[in-house]
Each structure stands twice: as C-alpha cells, then as structure tokens.
Amino acid sequence: MNQNRRLFRYVPAARFRIGAAVVLAGTGGLVLLLEASQLAHIVDGAFIGGKSLRSLIPALWLLLGWIGLRAVLLLVSEYAALQAAARMKSELRLRLARQISELGPVYAKGERSGELVSVLCEGVDQLENYVAKYLPQRSLSAFLPLAVLCMAAPLDWISAGIMAVTLPMLIVFMVIIGQAAKKKADRQFHQLGLLSGHFFDVLRGLPTLILFNRSKAQIEIISRISEKLRTTTMSTMRIAFMSAFVMELFATLSTAVVAVFLGLRLISGELIFYRAFCVLLLVPEFYAPIRQLGAQYHAGLNGMTAAERILQVLDVEPLGWPEQPDGRSLPASSRGYRIEFDRVTVQYPDVPIPVLSEVSFVIEPGERLAIVGPSGAGKSTLLELLQGYIKPASGRILIDGTDMSELSMKWWRSQLAVCEQKPHLFPATVEQNLTLGHPHAAAKDIVRAACMANADGFIRELAHGYETVLSEQAQLSGGQVQRIALARALLKQAPLLVLDEPTDQLDLENGEFIKRSLEQWGRGRTTVLVTHHMDLARTADHIVALQDGAIVASGSHEALMDANGLYASMMNAEEHESAQHRAKAREQEGMAG
C-alpha cells in the first residue's frame, strides 16, 4: 500500500524495526514447527514406542529449549514493533507541528482547529496498534501458513489439501468483513474529529453562548454528535466481534474436519501415529496467523484511517511562501525597505470573487502607511500578503526590487514586527510574552517598550508585576492584551512595524497615547498601519483606502480630503461623531458645574 510506504519513508528507523520484528516473529513461527514436531516425537515415543520417562528426558529438555527460544524471539519482536510505533508517532507529531506552522495562520484560520488538534493528538496515538500490531502481522500471515503447509504436506498430503482449500475461503471472508469495517471506522474517525472540534469551539465561545442563553442548545448538539459516535463505535465493534467469532468457528470446523480424516486413517492403519499427531498439532497454527490478522485489522482500523488524515494534512500546499533553503536575504536596513505591490490579486480556493484585485501601491523606506476601509475590504489580507502568509494569485510583491518569492521567509519575517488584529498571549509570564521577538532584551528596554504602549502601569499592578503568569486567573481586558501585544511588537525593534487595528480595543485616552508613541517610534522606521480610527490615519504620510478588495484612493491626507471620496466621508463621519462626543461631555460638565 502506497500509504504505508509513505509513512515509513518519513521514519526510516521505524521501517528497520518493523522489518526486524517480522523476521524475529517469523523465526518464532518456524521454531513453533520444530516444537510441534518435537512434542509429537515425545508423545509417540512414550505411548507407541513404550520408552521410559528417563530415556525421554533429553527430548523433553530440547522441547523446553524450543519453547524458551520462541518466547524470547516473540518478546524481542514485540519490543521492536512497539519501538517502531513510538518513533513513528513522535516523528509524525513533529512533522505535523512543523507543517502546521509552515502552513501559517491563514490555514489554521480556515480549518476547524479542534479537528486539527484531534488529528494531532488522538489520530497519531491511534497509529500504535496499526503500526506495531497490524503491519507485522500482515507480513507474517503471508508467510507462516505457507511454512506450515510445507511441513504438513510430506507428513500427510490429504490434510495439507484440506488446509490449502479452506484458507482462501477464510481470507475472502476476512476481506469482505474488513471492507465493511473500514467504512464504519472512517465514519467513526470523522465523527470523533467533529466532536473534538465542536467541544473546542463551544469551550472558546462559552461566554457568548451563556450570554445569549444558547449553552443548553450546544450541549444538546454535543450530546447528539456523541450519541452518533457511540452508535458508530458500537457497530464497528459488533463487526469486529462477529468477524472474530466467525473466523474462530471456521478455523475450529476446518481443524475438526482434518482431525476426523486423520482419525479414520489412523484407525484403518493407513497413517502412523507420529504423522497424524504432528499434523493435528500443526493445523491450528496454520489458521492462527490469519485469525490474528483479522483481529489486528480491526484493532488497527482507526490507526489506518488516522494515517490517511495525517498524510492529507501533510500534503496540503502552503498558501504562503514556504521557507526555502536558498532563499535570499537583502542588505540590512534599519529604516525599512521599498515595498512595491504590483497588480496583486488574491483569490481563496473556495471563494469565487477575488479578495483583492489588482492592488498596486508603494511603501517607501521610513514611510508611514495607513490602510483604511470598511471591514471585509481586504485590509488584513494585505498584511498577510506582506508577511508572506499568502501568495498572490497574480501580480508581484517586490522588496527593494527583489520578488518576495526569492526571499528567505525566515529573514523577511525577522524584519517585521507585527501586532495582529486579535493578538494572542501565551500562558507564560508577562515578561516572557513581551520578549517573544527579542528573547535577550535588557530589562530597561522591556520597561521602555511597555511604557510606550502605556502598559507599564497596569503590569506593575498585577500580582507579581512583570513576573505574573498570564493564565485564566490573571484576567486581562481586551485593551490590556492589545497594549501588551503592541509593546511586544515595539520591543522587537524591527525596521518594519506592521499593525492591524492597534487601537481597536482602546479607549480614547489610551488611543491618543498610542498615537503619540507610534509617531515617536516611527521616526526613521517604516510603519504599516491598518486602522478604523481616522484620527490615527491622518498622521500617516501615505494613505491607501480599500473597498471591496480594490484601492479606491491613495495619497496624502490632504489629497484624499480634496478628492472627496470614501476617505473624506469616513473622516467626516468620525469628525461628526467625535464632535457629538465632545458636546455631550461639555453638557455633562456644565450640569455638574
């Protein structure tokens, strides 16, 4: 199977170990044949030959030796197989994690993260039975019955004939049941993913769900999915039990048929006791590998399905530029780079109209660029392009004249300090969160960055100041999270600062403060700023107004105001709003006075 070859190509060490496990267990199987023949020999000697117990002692020792040897072989084989599975699991986890980070935030946003987590954790874990038990058994069951047949045929060809005829029937039966079970297992795995995904989403949205009184409805949905999962699981288990039962029955009946024929010929004197007994001992061993294969197949089914999904995730092409070993880095510049968007179009695979179409503009080094526009216009998408998380469907992005496709993404991203629209803080100390982009920052730089983001004050008021571990216990407001994220971006001191709605969650006062900080920080550096706040936008050297994925205006604040388009109307709307705000404040002041 192609799938297994791919799994083992990822983990060559596992292939070697599985190979060793098969050889060891196969040798164990051959020893079993010797064991059977030895036992038949002893019984024949004792009952037919009338030998004394004493004279049989060496033969008994030999039998014991074979038994011991086989036990050791099987033990080592099992150990090797388990080791192979363990290696494969850890390697695949690593690859999946690397792949997901390579695929970037745009991919993670599109997938159901809960389902992805379920693939990463449960899916990989389920590989164990498949790799350590089913795969070695598959090789063994192709070889061991043949070995038994070769040994039985010279002893009694009639028994060998019966065995050779019945085995294919058993195999056909196993394949038919196996296919039905595989279909069920696929469904089961899918439902497990759905359930995990749903759990994850509900957990994240719990405050909203409770607020809108929908948590009960969600619990019902979860219980419905889990009920479905239960019935599917039960029916796969029923199939596995039925398969085990029928195979057992079939093997027992075949053994009985062979035994009857052996007995009849033994009585009529056609066959000597040693041969008959030896064949009788061999018959169960003939069916055993196939029976075990059936059992391991059902135990490994979930792993088989998981492997498909894992390989699927590993196959996804990154939406953005991958890190390439021969990627270029440009001469360092503390002011930033000349960034040119040249007729860039972005199209998501399952969305009919382009999210951005033929967007062209230039960011000069040291410039402050503001991107404004209604939500859904494509502003965040522009920033994702800039970070190389998505590739343009057509058009180019040039950095100091070099196409972004030629750059080393690692280098390029080291030149960017980004504060996302929905920043994420990690369950670590405030300081560790701040120094993510600059791990060896000096304490005074950390404090300075926090001060610039107006975060120093509230950080000091936390239980342990900068050493406070951010967790569910240390709840921060949305505005506080945003200010820490902003401080984190400033602390990185990269030549290019990229901000997606940095004052989104801030009150007027904090917004003013950040505006001044950014002005100060931006001197001699490049800033790209997406914002709704026109007050912040007007401080930029260059403003790009986006609507429905196209640039509707571009230029300085004055030029755009004169043009009297979208920009001017957004600006006027905000002026109107803040004038109202001021009037209200004055009114209240007046009433108080």
Q: Using CA atoms in the order 410, 415, 417, 423, what is the torsion angle rounded to 10 degrees?
A: -20
**Where in 90-149 is the site for ligand ADP (CB under 6 A)?**
106, 109-110
Nearer to ligand ADP, 145 or 354 (CB): 354
**Where in 361-380 is the site for Mg ion (CB under 5 A)?**
380
Number of residues that this document lists for the chain: 593
Residues 6+ apart with CB under 8 A from 258: 159, 162, 163, 279, 280, 283
Min separation Cβ 571 and ligand ADP, Å = 18
457 binds, among ligand ADP, Mg ion, none (CB under 5 to 8 A by kind): none
235 binds, among Mg ion, ligand ADP, none (CB under 5 to 8 A by kind): none
Q: What residues pair up with 555 in beta bridges, in sequence order?
A: 543
- By the 8 A CB rule, do 306 and 157 touch? no
Residues 6+ apart with CB under 8 A from 241: none
378 binds, among ligand ADP, Mg ion, none (CB under 5 to 8 A by kind): ligand ADP
Instruction: Name which position in 10, 79, 348, 411 contacts ligand ADP (CB under 6 A).
Output: 348
Residue 377 interacts with ligand ADP (CB under 6 A): yes or no: yes
Instruction: Name which position in 376, 427, 478, 524 contacts ligand ADP (CB under 6 A).
Output: 376
- By the 8 A CB rule, do 485 and 419 touch? yes
Find the largest Cα–Cα distance for the chain: 125
Residue 378 interacts with ligand ADP (CB under 6 A): yes or no: yes
411 binds, among ligand ADP, Mg ion, none (CB under 5 to 8 A by kind): none
**Where in 380-439 is the site for Mg ion (CB under 5 A)?**
380, 421
351 binds, among Mg ion, ligand ADP, none (CB under 5 to 8 A by kind): ligand ADP
Residue 149 to residue 160: CA distance in whole angstroms: 6
320 binds, among Mg ion, ligand ADP, none (CB under 5 to 8 A by kind): none
What is the distance of C-alpha 387 from the center of its chain?
23
Residue 317 interacts with ligand ADP (CB under 6 A): yes or no: no
Instruction: Name which position in 15, 87, 275, 379 contacts ligand ADP (CB under 6 A).
Output: 379
In 364-488 the beta strands, taken as DSSP E runs, fall at: 368-372, 394-399, 402-403, 416-419
Residue 562 to residue 548: CA distance in whole angstroms: 22
By Cβ distance, which residue is nearest to Mg ion? 380
Min separation Cβ 421 and Mg ion, Å = 5
Residue 351 interacts with ligand ADP (CB under 6 A): yes or no: yes
Question: Which ranges constitute the DSSP H helices of 374-442?
Answer: 379-386, 409-414, 430-434
Instruction: Name which position in 162, 194, 355, 497 contacts ligand ADP (CB under 6 A).
Output: 355
478 binds, among ligand ADP, Mg ion, none (CB under 5 to 8 A by kind): none
Min separation Cβ 112 and ligand ADP, Å = 13
Min separation Cβ 92 and ligand ADP, Å = 26
Min separation Cβ 373 and Mg ion, Å = 10
Please report where in the chains the tokens 């037919």 appear, as a residue.
48
* The one segment of 78-86, 267-275, 370-378, 458-466 that binds ligand ADP by CB under 6 A: 370-378
Nearer to Mg ion, 24 or 551 (CB): 551
355 binds, among Mg ion, ligand ADP, none (CB under 5 to 8 A by kind): ligand ADP
Instruction: Name which position in 2, 375, 473, 475 contacts ligand ADP (CB under 6 A).
Output: 375
Return the DSSP state at 454: T
* The one segment of 48-56, 79-87, 377-385, 510-518 that binds ligand ADP by CB under 6 A: 377-385
106 binds, among Mg ion, ligand ADP, none (CB under 5 to 8 A by kind): ligand ADP
* Phi and psi, residue 501, nearest 5°: 50, 60
Min separation Cβ 528 and ligand ADP, Å = 13
Nearer to Mg ion, 367 or 384 (CB): 384
Q: What residues pair up with 341 in beta bridges, in sequence order?
A: 361, 397
Estimate the crossing angle of helix 215-267 against helix 157-204, to 10 degrees: 170
- By the 8 A CB rule, do 70 and 35 touch? yes
52 binds, among ligand ADP, Mg ion, none (CB under 5 to 8 A by kind): none
475 binds, among Mg ion, ligand ADP, none (CB under 5 to 8 A by kind): none
Judged on CB neighbours under 10 Å (0-12, 13-18, 19+), 18 is buried
Residue 12 interacts with ligand ADP (CB under 6 A): yes or no: no
Min separation Cβ 500 and Mg ion, Å = 6
What is the distance of C-alpha 479 from the center of its chain?
31
Nearer to Mg ion, 80 or 543 (CB): 543
Residue 108 to residue 18: CA distance in whole angstroms: 34
109 binds, among ligand ADP, Mg ion, none (CB under 5 to 8 A by kind): ligand ADP
**Among residues 369, 382, 389, 367, which one has the least CA distance to residue 550?**
382
Residue 262 to residue 281: CA distance in whole angstroms: 12
Residue 381 interacts with ligand ADP (CB under 6 A): yes or no: yes
Nearer to ligand ADP, 361 or 411 (CB): 361
Return the DSSP state at 122: I
Long-range contacts of 374-382 (CB under 8 A, 24+ apart): 374/547, 377/546, 377/547, 377/548, 377/549, 378/346, 378/546, 378/548, 378/549, 379/500, 379/530, 379/546, 380/421, 380/500, 380/530, 381/346, 381/355, 381/356, 381/549, 382/341, 382/356, 382/530, 382/546
**Where in 263-282 is the site for ligand ADP (CB under 6 A)?**
none
- CA dihedral sign, ordered 397, 399, 402, 406: negative
Min separation Cβ 340 and ligand ADP, Å = 20
Min separation Cβ 486 and ligand ADP, Å = 18
Judged on CB neighbours under 10 Å (0-12, 13-18, 19+), 474 is middle
Interface contacts to Mg ion, rule CB under 5 A:
380, 421
Interface contacts to ligand ADP, rule CB under 6 A:
106, 109-110, 348, 351, 355, 373, 375-381
